Amino acid sequence: MNIILVGAQWGDEGKGKIIDAMTEKSDIVVRTQGGNNAGHTVKVGNEKFVLHLIPSGILHSKVKCVIGNGVVIDPISLVIEIEGLEKRGIKTKGRLFVSQTAHVVFPYHREIDALRETSKGTLKIGTTKRGIGPTYSDKASRTGLRIQDLYRADFPEKLKKRVSEANKLIVAGGAKPVSFSKTLKTYEEAAKKLKPYITNTVVWLHQAMEKKVEMLFEGAQGTFLDIDFGTYPYVTSSNTTAGGSSTGSGIPPHWMNRVMGCVKAYTTRVGEGPFPTEDDALSDRLHAMGREFGSTTGRARRCGWFDAVFTHYSRMINGIDDLAITNLDGLDEVKEIRVCVAYKLKGKTIHHPPTDLDEMAQCKPVYKVFKGWMTSTVKAKRFNDLPPLARTYVKALAELMGTRLKIVSVGPNRDQTIWL
Ligand code: GDP
Ligand code: IMO
Ligand code: MG
């Protein structure tokens, strides 16, 4: 069984934790898009791991992990992540395979990303400033460099040209130019360290498939950050939806067997952009509990009610079969829980999110109110351990989305996962 896990909201749905739980039944975990803008948290006992580029499956020693062709890789960041895991006793050699055709993030991509975020007159997206957008832009413009280019004799020459072109933009924007010689040195060092991991992951995955392995495709970001289906332009630069797992790995769509969607029991979003069910009181409550601070940038996440209009749309786009609902415990002390079931727009009731942002800004959520269970759920081990009102709530979310409820998570740890 090959399963795709997608975030069905705006990212940070708890994908890392769910992948970790699902990995028990898998042989290979594959990342297929995004880069180190992702931050996937896994708690194992008292230890906390935040994975940015390496699939969350790496924490299970029997599992192999792949960073596919669709990912954009900052080699320096990948080396730091590998060394960090090795220091904590997690072996990566012979277990991690990195695509030779994945595009490379360079310091000039990060500079340009940061400049666009801070310059007057450019649209502020609230990016992670990891250079993701500029790297995917170069990929689409056919001017990008790929992992295999790091090992070619003409790498210095190619890099010099790219740095000098990028520096024109960087200097015009008022920032300090990127140093070619420093970049060359650090990237050559990182390339040497990464060499044992680099392979043709398409061939590797297809050879593995002959042995009837079970694969898990770990989505990064979330459906409404998708470059095509998200709240454009307030999105990331890759296809975060289920289709991205094929193009980002070379595994054909009809070899994918199921899609698992991951949602929080409420909604969060980091960065700018529309968020119709955003609620300041809920944000304050969750932040006061020490929750909802970004795993990559530490920024406070914006919080709001569960939006069944958006997530139903997400079910359509991704073909979500099964649903994992995380962070149910975040609502343990909320008396009245709202769920957006439709929007009012210009006197009409609508059931799909508008694609025009001006229209979206005019949408008024229509809420259904659920009675809160007002008791802790963190110790629940089976579905029937949950308070009846909590069971009603999670079942209603799955029904509104049109999916089958499969997992309910009531805490960050492995043993706080209820399988249905
Ligand atoms: P991802 O990017 O989708 O992997 O999600 P993040 O790791 O960025 O953010 C999810 C946060 O919620 C992390 O801090 C997780 O440890 C935490 N988390 C996941 N599931 C649960 C849950 O059911 N309850 C609680 N309290 N925390 C959870
Ligand atoms: P995971 O995988 C939440 C958001 C940024 C910004 C927008 C564009 O942990 O769920 P980018 O740096 O990608 O150009 O930023 O996308 N963003 C995320 N939000 N979770 C993520 O990843 C995100 N990756 C990017 O905050 O709004
Ligand atoms: Mg995250």
Tens digits of per-residue pLDDT, 143-200? 999 999 999 999 999 999 999 999 999 999 999 999 999 999 999 999 999 999 999 9
Asked whether 305 and 279 are in contact (CB, 8 A), the reply is yes
Q: Which of 211-215, 265-269, 303-307 has the lowest mean pLDDT?
A: 211-215
Q: Superfamily assignment of 3-93+201-419 in CATH?
A: Adenylosuccinate Synthetase, subunit A, domain 3 (3.90.170.10)
pLDDT digit string, tens, across residues 53-110: 999 999 999 999 999 999 999 999 999 999 999 999 999 999 999 999 999 999 999 9
Active site residue 12: yes
Asked whether 378 and 408 are in contact (CB, 8 A), the reply is no
Contacts of 249 (CB under 8 A, 6+ apart): 30, 32, 66, 68, 69, 70, 201, 202, 205, 217
Contacts of 146 (CB under 8 A, 6+ apart): 100, 101, 102, 103, 104
State pTM to two decimals: 0.97
The minimum-distance atom of ligand 2 relative to the CA of 273 is: 27
Pick among 1.10.300.10, 3.10.20.440, 2.60.120.10, 1.10.1740.10: CATH of 103-196: 1.10.300.10
Residues 328-345 have a mean pLDDT of 98
What is the best residue among 12, 36, 37, 263 to mutate for testing ligand 2's pocket, by most ligand atoms within 8 Å of CB? 37
Active site residue 52: no
Please tell me the distance between residue 39's alpha carbon and the centre of ligand 3 in angstroms: 4
* Strands in 193-254 per DSSP E: 198-199, 215-218
Asked whether 115 and 284 are in contact (CB, 8 A), the reply is no
Q: Verify whether ligand 1 is closer than 6 Å to residue 412 (CB atom).
A: yes
In this prediction, residue 5 carries a pLDDT of 98
pLDDT for residue 212 is more than 90: no
Q: What residues does each domain of the chain span?
A: 3-93+201-419, 103-196
β-strand pairing of 348-350 with 336-345: antiparallel
Helix ranges (DSSP H) in 142-253: 155-172, 180-194, 201-209, 244-247
Residues 382-397 have a mean pLDDT of 98
The minimum-distance atom of ligand 1 relative to the CA of 417 is: 23
Residue with CA closest to ligand 2 atom 13 = 236
Give how far Cα 140 sits from Cα of 134, 144, 145, 151, Å: 10, 8, 11, 22
Q: Among all ligands shown, which has an atom nearest to the Cα of 42?
A: 1
Which tokens is 102 given?
Answer: 């994945």
Helix ranges (DSSP H) in 34-154: 75-87, 107-118, 132-141
Kindly name the residue from 20, 40, 52, 329 that is annotated as catalytic: 40
Q: Verify whether ligand 1 is closer than 6 Å to residue 326 (CB atom).
A: yes
Please tell me the distance between residue 185's alpha carbon and the centre of ligand 1 in angstroms: 37
Please tell me the distance between residue 99's alpha carbon and the centre of ligand 1 in angstroms: 28
Helix (H, G, I), strand (E, B) or coil at 40: strand
Residue that is written with structure tokens 């709202």 in the block: 338
Please tell me the distance between residue 155's alpha carbon and the centre of ligand 1 in angstroms: 40
Residue that is written with structure tokens 């289906």 in the block: 229
Of 402, 253, 397, 256, the closest CA to residue 327 belongs to 397
